[in-house]
Structure 1
Amino acid sequence: MGMNPANIMKLMQRLNIFRTQHPKFQAFLGSVTQGAIREGTIIEIKVTDPDGGEYISNMKLTSDDIETVEILKNIRE
C-alpha cells in the first residue's frame, strides 16, 4: 500500500498549522521524549468535550512501542 504524495503534502500542511496554533504542545513532546519515554512508561490521555463529558484512557509502553516512537522521531531527520 503506497502513500499518496498529495495526501502527504496535505498532512505536512496541517501539521504546520497545528504547530502554529499549539506551540506549547510540541515543546511538551520534546521534553517528554528526552527521557520519559521508555519501556514501562504509562501514557494517559483525557479528553473533555464542550458539554463536560470526559473520556480517559491510558497505555503502558512496551519495547515495540518504543521502537515505533524511535522510528517516528527519525522520520524528520
Structure 2
Amino acid sequence: MNPLDMMKFSGLWSTFTANHPKFPKFIAAASRKGVLAEGSIIAMQITTPDGETLETNLKVTASDLELIQQIKKMQ
C-alpha cells in the first residue's frame, strides 16, 4: 500500500472507530480471550432500513488471523 493510500485508510479507520466504538473493542476482547482462534465461527447479520435481513457466517482460518494481526499493526 502506498503511503498516500495508507494515510487515507488511517483517516477512514479513525472515523469508522469513532462512529462504531464497540466494534474494535469487541474484536480486541475476542482476540485477547482466545475466542478469535482458527476454527471459530463469526456470524454476521445485516438488517436494512426496510427490514430485510441478510445473514452469513465464516469459519476463521489461519490467513484470517494473519490479516487481523496486520490490521492491528497499522493502528
TM-score between the two structures when normalised by the length of structure 2: 0.79
Q: 1:33 Cα deviation (Å)?
A: 1.0
Instruction: Name the counterpart of 1:24.
Output: 22
Does residue 39 of structure 2 align to residue 12 of structure 1?
A: no
Distance 2:51 2:22 in 1: 23
Rounded Cα–Cα distance in structure 2 between residues aligned with 1:74 and 1:13: 15
Cα distance in 1 for residues equivalent to 2:51 and 2:37? 32
Q: Gapped runs of 5+ residues in structure 2?
A: none
Classify the secondary structure of the residue corresponding to 1:36.
coil
C-alpha separation in 1, matches of 2:28 and 2:37: 14
Following TM superposition, the consecutive aligned residue runs of length 4 or more in structure 1 with deviations greater than 4 angstroms are none
Does 1:46 find its partner at 2:45? yes
The structure whose Rg is larger is: 1
User: Percent same amino acid at aligned positions?
Assistant: 35
Q: Taking structure 1 as the reference length, what is the TM-score of the superposition?
A: 0.77
What number of residue pairs does the alignment pair up? 74
CA distance in 2, matches of 1:15, 1:64: 21
RMSD: 1.7
